A and B are shown apart, each in its own frame.
Chain A
Amino acid sequence: MAGRLSPLWQRRLDAFRANRRGWWSLWIFSTLFVVSLLAEVIANDRPILVGYDGGLYAPVLKEYPETTFGGIFPTPADYRDPEVQGLIEEKGWILWPPVRFSAQTVNFTLQQPAPSPPSLENPLGTDDQGRDVLARLLYGFRLSVLFGLVLTVASSVIGILAGAVQGFFGGWLDLLGQRFLEIWGGLPQLFILIIVSSIIVPGFWTLLIVLLLFSWTALVGLVRAEVLRARSLDYVRAARALGLPEGRILLRHVLPNAMVATFTFAPFILSGSLVSLTALDFLGLGMPPGSASLGELLSQGKENLQAPWLGITGFVVLAALLTLLVFIGEAVRDAFDPRKTLR
């Protein structure tokens, strides 16, 4: 089956590649995303590998008490402590990640009061708690993108299903669905989010569900209209004449043709999800205090105008991320448009 379909997918891939901007954006975005997925081995306050006394240790993965390396205390080793470093280097070596801070690591050896400007040790400076901005950016990027992807997929699936069912079966179902959407859309989203976040402790999944309550409606109207249009087309009639069951007609003939409109919306939904999480974090209603996120970085930038590296970093990263997503979305749209001619 896969071998048989390959010419079609080859064509789609070619169309995607033909959009050079989108193609490059995809590569840049994927690289950044993969890098951020590996954040633990890139920015961490523990070494990746330690060789000590002939044995190999991976502190990134496992906690070792200080006594392992000949120390006194049975507590987990603090590898940033010069004492501990000295103990290890006596009988072995340390392989550090490129950035020797994790998102929560406070740099106690700053020469200036936090937030401190960019230096060799902290290339993007530190925030007002003395934490390395580059490390926090890496972790925050990962959190934002993962959150956005999950929210986009979940709200698209729900929205497409709801829209398709309304458009295809019509009648009372459609009428009631539309009225429900109008009422739902009239709810004051932000107030509800503020109220909810004061009742429950916000976390990744709770925030996701709360945001999903409102974001799934984005695609419903669009898919419904596309399905209504496609329902009366000749090829749907021809499929009925072939004896295809209604469900299969919906899945094979109607939905795929409603997909281009959906795909053009997907990047905007993704960027919208990123922005809503960032906004909540910025307001302090998002992820638990202290978690690294783009919104938290921006809010630090706002509160510390004397430290422009915070705000500028947050802005540049967010703007670049959103731009990349839109470019990728354009290329995806080209790929799924069969009328697009390849040059």
Chain B
Amino acid sequence: MTSSVFPSAFGGDGGETVLSVSGLSVTFRSGVQAVRDVSFTIRRGETLALVGESGSGKSVTALSVLQLLPPSGVTLSGSVSVLGTEMVGAALPVLQTVRGNRVGMVFQEPMTSLNPLHSIGQQVEEAVSLHQPLRGPALRARVVELLTLVGLPNPEKRLNALPHELSGGQRQRVMIAMALANSPDLLIADEPTTALDVTIQAQILDLLRDLQRRIGMAVLFITHDLTLVRQFAGRVCVMKGGQIVESGDTAALFADPQHAYTRHLLASHPSGQPVPVAEDAEDVLAVETLKVWFPVRGGLFRRVTDHIRAVNGVSFRLRQGETLGVVGESGSGKTTLALALLRLVQGDLGGRAVFAGSDLMTLPRPALRALRRDMQVVFQDPFGSLSPRMSVGEIIAEGLRLHDPLPEAEIRAQVAAVLEEVGLPTDSQDRYPHEFSGGQRQRISIARALILRPRLIVLDEPTSALDLTVQAQIISLLRDLQRRYRLTYLFISHDLRVVRVLAHRLLVMRGGEVMEDGETEAVFAAPRHPYTRALLAAAFPDQDAGSGL
């Protein structure tokens, strides 16, 4: 089917040059030089990965290939040539013949890159008909063909589906179908799998690899995830501060990194061992058959007709100084479990959760409020979890002011001490959250929890939104604090690599239920449940699931 539509595949070597970037510099109007003198080429059938942390200029580079940066806000210099057509300074009609036609683009966020008001059929149709004279049934047939190609099940029936009716992975498939609509010579994939669950990630990558082989297009793959690069890319360019610091064949570069930054990047995967738990550690939290059901109401009188069983019969025990890792994909109920333990969800709670001698599920509100200083929480999103209108000092001291009315000077001293403890300068007190990077904000969140000297900290994906090197720093900070204060963590994550180095025990959740639990190393070494095995295979593609690192 595809051979009639797409040109036959070329090998990676010796193909014509599809994209050639030389001496590209991008300066924003604010004076920030986001990209500095970047040069690379991609040949047909080749995959080039641009790797770097946030702010390294990799996305700006990708956007300047199609001249998608706002023309009034930036100054570009250098040359970007797609199949011999110069893009820098080209007129809009020229750009439009290239955009979506010779070059397709897939963005990171499948939730926002599709128009929520148009059916997916319409959106793919639009992408096709902009550059091809197809109309009516022929156009429709082409759309169905594309959706089949990207592996969307039942494409004929799905044409009228709106984006919200599809899952994240399916939306990303639709995005890829749109990018492929005109058999492009180059596909730019800007973090195409970052927002997806690990098992879906693997599927999307397989799809991209398969399509590349069949269509013979070149792929510019932008990511921060070195594991993906190793799996997926033939060549790598490592970017830092707007410059390419090192480039070369993936295998060679991973085996023998030359630049210090590349070595740093390669070394900064989560590492180390959980802090050993004392033999005689007492139980901090004992959870028995915990349930969180959300009522579904229907009918005229909004009677409860059904329940969504977000958490259904979860039991575990947590000892002082221990970390329990809760893993699962989105929708598995792991965050709901955490919020239920903190009594921050509305819904029908059932079961017991005994913490410090009282059952959190039935404790009346005033008693619960007093207990809150002993259990704190750190959320995933470092940007959303700090009130933008309060200074860092106010944010951190808030809990202290509530539970422990102290003189102002004493509060300031304690805030300074806790800032130092989480590795931030003590003069950060009077600054606002927006002046800090993601990793620093996460440290502020940790400080806010830590200043109350809690026994239990619930960590809801605290490292997921962070760069790899920052992730490693936060992990070692968490481990230090655990050792020093014998803190107990409930650590929620979808990232098995992070969980492995921090958690003593593991709870694998799916659909609100526990699939498997046990000592972390035992689960990694010999996963019993097929779902656990699938998760491990997706997270550690280099190894057999059973053998570990």
Contact = CB atoms under 8 A, between A and B. Distances in A.
Interface of A: 1, 4, 7-8, 233-235, 237-245, 252-253, 256-257, 259, 338-339, 341
Contact of A338 (B342, B381, B389): B389
B108 interface: no
The listed residue with most B CB atoms (<10 A of its CB), out of A233, A234, A259, is A234
B369 A243 contact: yes
A191 B375 CA distance: 59
Interface residues of B, number: 36
Interface string B397-439: 0110011000010001000000000000000001011100000
Contacts of B380: 234
B500 interface: no
A87 B75 CA distance: 79
B387 A338 contact: no
A243 B403 contact: yes
B376 A7 contact: no
B387 A256 contact: yes
B498 interface: no
B186 interface: no
A241 B376 contact: yes
A242 B389 contact: no
A238 B385 contact: yes
B344 A240 contact: yes
30 contacts: A1-B408, A8-B391, A8-B432, A233-B384, A234-B380, A234-B381, A234-B385, A235-B386, A237-B385, A238-B379, A239-B387, A241-B344, A241-B375, A242-B398, A242-B402, A242-B448, A243-B372, A243-B373, A243-B402, A244-B398, A244-B399, A252-B387, A253-B390, A256-B389, A256-B390, A257-B387, A257-B389, A338-B432, A338-B433, A339-B434
B377 interface: yes
A338 B408 CA distance: 24
A244 B402 CA distance: 7
A135 to B, nearest CB: 45
B370 interface: yes
Contacts of A243: 368-370, 372-373, 399, 402-403
Nearest to A341: B30
Contact of A242 (B388, B399, B412): B399
Contacts of A341: 30
Contacts of B375: 241
A339 B403 CA distance: 31
B193 interface: no
A15 to B, nearest CB: 12
B520 to A, nearest CB: 26
B243 interface: no
Nearest to B433: A338
B379 A234 contact: yes
B230 to A, nearest CB: 33
The 8 closest A-B pairs by CB, nearest first: A243-B372, A234-B385, A242-B399, A7-B430, A243-B369, A234-B384, A256-B389, A235-B387
A257 B391 CA distance: 13
B445 interface: yes
Contacts of A339: 388, 434
A8 B448 CA distance: 20
Contact of A235 (B385, B402, B452): B385
A238 B370 CA distance: 15
A239 B344 contact: no
A1 B398 CA distance: 15
A338 B434 contact: yes
Contacts of B412: 4
A4 B430 CA distance: 8
Interface string B441-465: 0000100100010000000000000
